[in-house]
C-alpha cells in the first residue's frame, strides 16, 4: 500500500483483496448524481458553494467503478462542524480526513454508492479535478488511453481500492498535464 490509509481513514480501511469491477458507462449516472447533488444542497443550503459530478462516471462513454464521485466546495473544508453534521443527517458518512492534502474530506453514501469529496472553494485540486474531467469528455484519445489503463489495472488483484487508484497516477499525471495546458489556453 503506497499510503498509510489507516492514518486518514475514519474506521478501519476496508480491504478489497481482489479485482476491480469496471462497469460500462451507464446513462443513469448523471441522473444519480443530480439526485444526490440535490440532497447535498438541501442539507447544506448556502454552505454548498459548488457541487460537481467528477470521476469516471461523469465522463460519457467511459467505463467506471459504479461509484458516483461528487465534488463539494465549501468555505473551509477543515471546519467540519459547519457542514459534516448536516451531511451525516442526510445519510452521508465521513470516511476520509486528509488535512495534509488540501484539507480533503470524503464522505460516503449508498444507493447508489458514492464518494463526496469536500474541498475549500478555490483550492487547486478543484481546478485539477474539473480540468481532468472536462479533458476526458472532449479528448477521445486520452479517454481511450485512460480507459485501457483502467481495464489493464482492474484485472489485477488489489489489497485495497486505493492501491488501484494509486497505480493509475502516472497516466493521470500525464493526462492532467495536457488537460491543464488546454484549460489555460481557453
What confidence score (pLDDT) does residue 95 get? 95
Confidence of residue 1 (pLDDT cuts 50, 70, 90): very low
**Helix intervals (H) in 70-114:** 84-89
Least confident range of 30-34, 61-65, 111-115, 144-148: 111-115
DSSP assigned state of 168: T
Residue 46: pLDDT above 60? yes
Q: What is the pLDDT of residue 186?
A: 62
Instruction: Give the H/E segment covering residue 113.
Output: none
pLDDT tens-digit readout, 149-167: 999 999 999 999 999 999 9
CATH topology of domain 15-185: Beta Polymerase; domain 2 (3.30.460)
Q: What does the alpha-carbon distance between residue 55 and residue 136 come to, in Å, rounded to a whole number?
A: 10
Each residue of 52-111: pLDDT tens digit?
A: 999 999 999 999 999 999 999 999 999 999 999 999 999 999 999 999 999 999 999 988
What share of the chain has pLDDT > 90, as a percent? 87
Is the CB of residue 181 less than 8 Å from the CB of residue 42?
no
Question: Helix or strand or coil: residue 119?
Answer: strand
Q: What pLDDT score does 2 carry?
A: 39
- Domain chopping of the chain, boundaries: 15-185
The pLDDT value given to residue 5: 67
Whole-angstrom distance, CA of residue 58 vs CA of residue 132: 11
Does residue 10 register a pLDDT over 50? yes
CB neighbours of 184 closer than 8 A, spacing ≥ 6? Answer: none
Q: What is the pLDDT of residue 115?
A: 97
Helical H segments across the chain, by residue range: 5-8, 29-44, 84-89, 124-138, 140-154, 161-167, 169-185
Amino acid at each position: 500500500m503506497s499510503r498509510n490509509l489507516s492514518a486518514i481513514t475514519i474506521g478501519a480501511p476496508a480491504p478489497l483483496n481482489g479485482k476491480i469491477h469496471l462497469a460500462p458507462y451507464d446513462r443513469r449516472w448523471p441522473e444519480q448524481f443530480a439526485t444526490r447533488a440535490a440532497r447535498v444542497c438541501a442539507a447544506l443550503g448556502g454552505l454548498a458553494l459548488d457541487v460537481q459530478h467528477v470521476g469516471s462516471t461523469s465522463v460519457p462513454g467511459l467505463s467506471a467503478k459504479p461509484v458516483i464521485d461528487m465534488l463539494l466546495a465549501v468555505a473551509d473544508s477543515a471546519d467540519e462542524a459547519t457542514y459534516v453534521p448536516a451531511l451525516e443527517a442526510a445519510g452521508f458518512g465521513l470516511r476520509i480526513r486528509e488535512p495534509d492534502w488540501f484539507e480533503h474530506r470524503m464522505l460516503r453514501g449508498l444507493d447508489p454508492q458514492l464518494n463526496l469529496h469536500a474541498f475549500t472553494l478555490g483550492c487547486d485540486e478543484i481546478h485539477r479535478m474539473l480540468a481532468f474531467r472536462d479533458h476526458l469528455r472532449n479528448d477521445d484519445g486520452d479517454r481511450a488511453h485512460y480507459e485501457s489503463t483502467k481495464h489493464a489495472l482492474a484485472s489485477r488483484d488489489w489489497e485495497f481500492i486505493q492501491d488501484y487508484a494509486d497505480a493509475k497516477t502516472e497516466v493521470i499525471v500525464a493526462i492532467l498535464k495536457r488537460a491543464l495546458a488546454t484549460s489555460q489556453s481557453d
